Amino acid sequence: MQIDILAQPANTITKITFAQNEEITAEGGSMVAMSGGLDVQTTTHKRGKRGIGRAVKRAFAGENIFLNHYKAERDGAHLYIAPNLSGDIMTHELQGGSLIVQATSFLAHEASVDMDVSWQGFKNMLSSEGLFWLKMSGTGKVLINSFGAIYPVAVDGEYIVDTGHIVAFDEGLNFSLSKAGKSWMSSILGGEGIVCRFKGKGTVWCQSHSPSGFGNALGRLLDPIVEHQQ
Amino acid sequence: MSDTNQTSPSVKPLTHVIEGRPDFAYLKVQLPAQETLRVEASAMQAMDKHVTMRTRLKGGFKRLISGENLFLNEFTAQGKEGELILGSSLPGDIKRLYLTQNGPALFLQSGSFLAASTGIETQTKFQGLIKGFFSGAGLFLIKCVGEGDIFFNSYGGIIEIQVENEFIIDNNHIVAFTEGLEYSVEKFGGYKSFFFSGEGLVARFHGNGRIWIQTRAMPPFFAWLNPFRRVVQKKRN
Amino acid sequence: MKHVVHGAPSFAHIEITLNAGDTLIAESGAMASMDASLDQKAKMNGGFFGALIRKFFGRESFFISHFTNMSGRDAKIIITQKAPGDIRAIKLTGGGFYIQPGAFVACETGVKLDVKWAGFSSWVAGEGLLRNYVHGHGAVFIGGYGAIYDKEIDGEYIIDSSHIIGYSRDIKLNVGMSGGIFSSFLSGEGLVARVEGKGKVFLQSRSVRNLANFINPRL
């Protein structure tokens, strides 16, 4: 399988060229174009028994929990996939460990990688991000997208990341949700709100821009949604 | 058609430069004196003060109501050469082609039209037109013929594909394609996939020609924005 | 304090290294990630009344954040803006320039953000009654949606007002309609600024307002 990352850095697209019988699983809604010679199957993925509140729906907006499984019927069959938002794409090679990935950052994974959608690490999500997380384990490639540029931070001690800026992190890191400054007032008024404190040794991948930051700035200027009362 | 300047002596290609590529491209054109450029509405960012603007509504008012309209502004440099800086409202790239009378025509997605010199004719009704090519969203196909510069923009990056046999594209990612390619519109992967996989209509292209695709699509972006919009309660009468 | 701009021009973000005791002033919500040794404090943008004026007339945020390095070693912070685009670092040495609302990203403590009267025509144009003047000593970071390009003005020039992010002190902006009422509405151009004087104007190649105008009829 050959993975080419094109049109970087903001409107990045991936071109995957297959050898016969190779497979890949990609997020539903990500197919841009493909050659002939690919078989496509669609499956849904059950999420755990969480209450679907508005915050959670936000995580799903534009993010389909449906997956497309592509299998090449011949050598050279190729596929172009891309995420919905502007941003970059990176390939992460899993070698036995686990990576926790923010759900809207998941793009695709090789068949040899396992995806767990019911990871409950961030219990009692206070963050307005309403984020969902996926746990990717096994060996093989995972394609991850970001809103903005992706920058890795090798944590050795303690590091703070605004929750809207987390793309993925090594499962081995300790983390806790907390405030950015000494007081809650300061954090919220300063616009930082809830941040994630990572402790220990491992890598956290951050994105330079926050989808909800841009979404709110733009959404404020859009026509409102009219809900009719019964 | 060509990307470079192979011209007939009567039409001169425009002096221009495209900057801000590939993500937030903008076009700087030096308009010769008394020359007119047709530009998509709201694309003007800056210009010399002696460049004048006139608004034309292509297709007349009937078209305005049906939702299929192409507002064009005509910019003319009065008296001397004038600078005009243009860009679309969407993040993305700009591509320029020079069309010739005996070259293939260009089919262009209406939302991607940025600017064209007066030698180019933009047709909204033509033979073989497929209605509902873009499943609504106020977009339609334009056929560009004639001789001169045509500038188009994309939502996202532009990738040029040389089609040799068969190629399938999600319709929301089509920017432009050359005349001569055969195409049919169908649902992706069958009925179940239409609802579950997120892909709607795709175009299956056959033959030889060039297709320009954009790496992002508008409908999923608009859907992503919904939770960020204010909600207003209205009483039913 | 040292700074490096990464990810330009599409997703510019600034990596700032604060020495012990340094403070950085940043727009509300601008922190992407930072060393745990940095302390964040929300401050009212110009005192209570200053902040109120800025919020309602100048359209800046009510609060800004002060990040201070309380430790004895260097600490890093990554500062970003809400929209994707470029960020310019401008070193002020006593002078200043006008910046549009939303263009301010961050600055060193020697830089001051003042509000000045913009005139009624500016208010009618939707540009606000006041405009923001940034001046002093130190680095100020301004950001835009899209690429940032500048234009040297000597005389007159016409710019779509949503694309202006900053301009030098001796430049005058006359905001008005692009054509008659009918053509302004249909042309999509709306309001334009007739810029005159001698100096520099900073432009952004996109605007969030234009993007919203593009999207609204298609929702």
Tens digits of per-residue pLDDT, A97-130?
A: 899 998 889 999 998 998 887 666 665 444 444 5
Among candidates A6, A40, A86 on the partner chain, residue whose Cβ is nearest the Cβ of B91: A86
Q: Please name which of B106, B149, B119 lies closest in space to residue B14, comparing C-alpha atoms.
A: B149
Minimal Cα–Cα distance from C140 to chain B, Å?
23
Query: Which of A5, A11, A43 to mutate: most B Cβ within 10 Å?
Result: A11
Q: Cα angle vertex A149, ends A144, A152, to 5°?
A: 70
- pLDDT score of B40: 87
* Type of residue numbered A228: H
Among candidates A10, A34, A219 on the partner chain, residue whose Cβ is nearest the Cβ of B229: A219
β-strand partners of B19 = B26
- Name the closest residue on chain B to residue C156, using Cα atoms: B49
- Name the closest residue on chain A to residue C35, using Cα atoms: A159
Residue ranges per domain, chain A? Answer: 2-219
Task: State the average pLDDT over residues C43-55.
Answer: 65
Task: State the average pLDDT over residues C190-210.
Answer: 89
Among candidates B167, B223, B226 on the partner chain, residue whose Cβ is nearest the Cβ of A35: B167
- pLDDT score of C47: 62
- pLDDT score of B196: 36
β-strand partners of A11 = A87
What sections of chain C are H helices per DSSP?
47-53, 120-124, 181-187, 208-215
Q: What is the CATH number of the domain that holds C186?
A: 3.60.160.10
Residue C42 touches partner A, C-beta closer than 8 Å: yes
- pLDDT score of B147: 94
Q: Which residues of A20-46 are buried (b: 16+ CB within 10 A; e: fewer)?
A: eebbbbbbbbbbbbbbebbebebeeee
CATH superfamily of this structure's domain A2-219: Mitochondrial biogenesis AIM24 (3.60.160.10)
- pLDDT score of B59: 52
Domain count, chain C: 1
Minimal Cα–Cα distance from B40 to chain C, Å?
9
Contact criterion met (CB < 8 Å) for A66 and B224: no
Contact criterion met (CB < 8 Å) for C179 and B26: no
Contact criterion met (CB < 8 Å) for B230 and A224: yes
Query: Which of A129, A153, A189 to mutate: most C Cβ within 10 Å?
Result: A189
Alpha-carbon span C133 to C98, nearest angstrom: 4
Contact criterion met (CB < 8 Å) for C163 and B225: no
Among candidates C147, C160, C187 on the partner chain, residue whose Cβ is nearest the Cβ of B20: C147
Task: State the average pLDDT over residues A191-195.
Answer: 70
Query: Which of A174, A199, A208 to mutate: most C Cβ within 10 Å?
Result: A208
Phi then psi for residue B186, to 5 deg, are -150, 170
Conformational region of residue C49, where left means phi above 0, alpha means psi within -120 to 50, and beta covers everything else:
alpha
Q: With contacts defined as CB-CB under 8 Å, which chain B residues touch A33?
A: 161, 167-170, 173, 213
Alpha-carbon span C209 to C162, nearest angstrom: 7
Residue B217 touches partner A, C-beta closer than 8 Å: yes
| pLDDT band at residue C51 using 50, 70 and 90 as cut-offs | low
β-strand partners of C193 = C159, C175
Contact criterion met (CB < 8 Å) for B89 and C183: no
**Least confident among A91-95, A172-176, B20-24, B184-188:** B184-188
- Name the closest residue on chain B to residue A56, using Cα atoms: B227
- pLDDT score of A50: 35
Q: How many CA atoms lie within 13 A of B141 on its CB side?
A: 22
- pLDDT score of B175: 94
* Type of residue numbered B13: P
Q: With contacts defined as CB-CB under 8 Å, which chain B residues touch C210?
A: 42, 89
- pLDDT score of C91: 94
- Chains linked to A by 3 or more Cβ pairs within 8 Å: B, C
Task: State the average pLDDT over residues A191-201.
Answer: 82
Among candidates A9, A158, A221 on the partner chain, residue whose Cβ is nearest the Cβ of C11: A9
Task: State the average pLDDT over residues A47-56.
Answer: 34
Q: With contacts defined as CB-CB under 8 Å, which chain C residues touch B55?
A: 179, 182-183, 186-187
Alpha-carbon span B193 to A28, nearest angstrom: 9
Alpha-carbon span A186 to C118, nearest angstrom: 32
Among candidates B19, B48, B89 on the partner chain, residue whose Cβ is nearest the Cβ of C214: B89
State both tokens at C159: 């710019």
Contact criterion met (CB < 8 Å) for B228 and A230: no
Minimal Cα–Cα distance from B38 to chain C, Å?
12
* Average pLDDT value for chain A: 80
Q: With contacts defined as CB-CB under 8 Å, which chain C residues touch B222?
A: 215, 218-219
Contact criterion met (CB < 8 Å) for B159 and A10: no
Among candidates B45, B85, B90 on the partner chain, residue whose Cβ is nearest the Cβ of C211: B90
Residue B64 touches partner C, C-beta closer than 8 Å: no
Task: State the average pLDDT over residues A178-183.
Answer: 67
What sections of chain A are H helices per DSSP?
54-60, 184-189, 211-219
**DSSP 8-state secondary structure symbol assigned to residue C146:** B
Q: With contacts defined as CB-CB under 8 Å, which chain C residues touch A89?
A: none
Regions of chain B with pLDDT less than 70 = 1-11, 57-70, 127-132, 135-138, 188-200, 237
Q: With contacts defined as CB-CB under 8 Å, which chain B residues touch C159?
A: 45-46
* Average pLDDT value for chain C: 84
Residue C41 touches partner A, C-beta closer than 8 Å: yes
Among candidates C7, C40, C209 on the partner chain, residue whose Cβ is nearest the Cβ of A221: C209
| pLDDT band at residue A214 using 50, 70 and 90 as cut-offs | very high
Hey, how many other C-beta atoms are within 10 angstroms of the C-beta on B15? 12
pLDDT at C170 over 60: yes
Task: Return the beta strands (E) in B70-128 as ranges.
Answer: 70-77, 82-86, 94-99, 106-109, 113-117, 120-123
pLDDT at C194 over 80: yes
**Using one digit for the tens of pLDDT, what is the confidence trace for C15-42?**
999 999 999 999 888 999 999 999 888 8
Percentage of chain A modeled with pLDDT above 90: 40
State both tokens at A45: 């993925």
- B4 vs A14, higher pLDDT: A14
- Name the closest residue on chain A to residue B235, using Cα atoms: A229
pLDDT at A53 over 60: no
**Least confident among A165-174, B62-71, C183-192, C205-214:** B62-71
Residue B193 touches partner A, C-beta closer than 8 Å: yes
Alpha-carbon span A211 to B227, nearest angstrom: 12
Q: Could you tell me which residues come within 8 angstroms of residue A69 by beta carbon, excluding any fewer than 6 positions away?
A: A23, A24, A25, A40, A41, A42, A43
Q: Which helix (H) or strand (E) holds B55?
A: strand B51-58
Q: Are strands B113-117 and B36-40 parallel, antiparallel or unpaired?
A: antiparallel
State both tokens at B183: 């195409």
pTM above 0.90, yes or no: no
**Contact residues, A window 14-33, toward B, CB-based 8 Å cutoff:** 28-33
Residue B172 touches partner C, C-beta closer than 8 Å: no
pLDDT at A154 over 50: yes
- A171 vs B65, higher pLDDT: A171
Domain of residue C178: give its range: 2-218
Minimal Cα–Cα distance from C29 to chain A, Å?
4
Contact criterion met (CB < 8 Å) for B222 and C160: no
Phi then psi for residue A164, to 5 deg, are -70, -10
Residue C150 touches partner A, C-beta closer than 8 Å: no
* Type of residue numbered C79: I
Contact criterion met (CB < 8 Å) for C42 and A187: yes
Contact criterion met (CB < 8 Å) for C218 and B222: yes
- A44 vs B230, higher pLDDT: B230
Q: Are strands B231-235 and A225-229 parallel, antiparallel or unpaired?
A: parallel
Q: Cα angle vertex A108, ends A107, A114, to 5°?
A: 125
State both tokens at C4: 């490096």
Alpha-carbon span A68 to A82, nearest angstrom: 13
Q: Are strands B209-214 and B174-178 parallel, antiparallel or unpaired?
A: antiparallel
Conformational region of residue A37, where left means phi above 0, alpha means psi within -120 to 50, and beta covers everything else:
left
- ipTM score assigned to the predicted complex: 0.85
Range among A71-75, B6-10, C110-114 rated most confident: A71-75
Alpha-carbon span A146 to C63, nearest angstrom: 28
Q: Could you tell me which residues come within 8 angstroms of residue B90 by beta carbon, excluding any fewer than 6 positions away?
A: B153, B154, B155, B218, C211, C214
Minimal Cα–Cα distance from B48 to chain C, Å?
5
Contact criterion met (CB < 8 Å) for A11 and B23: yes
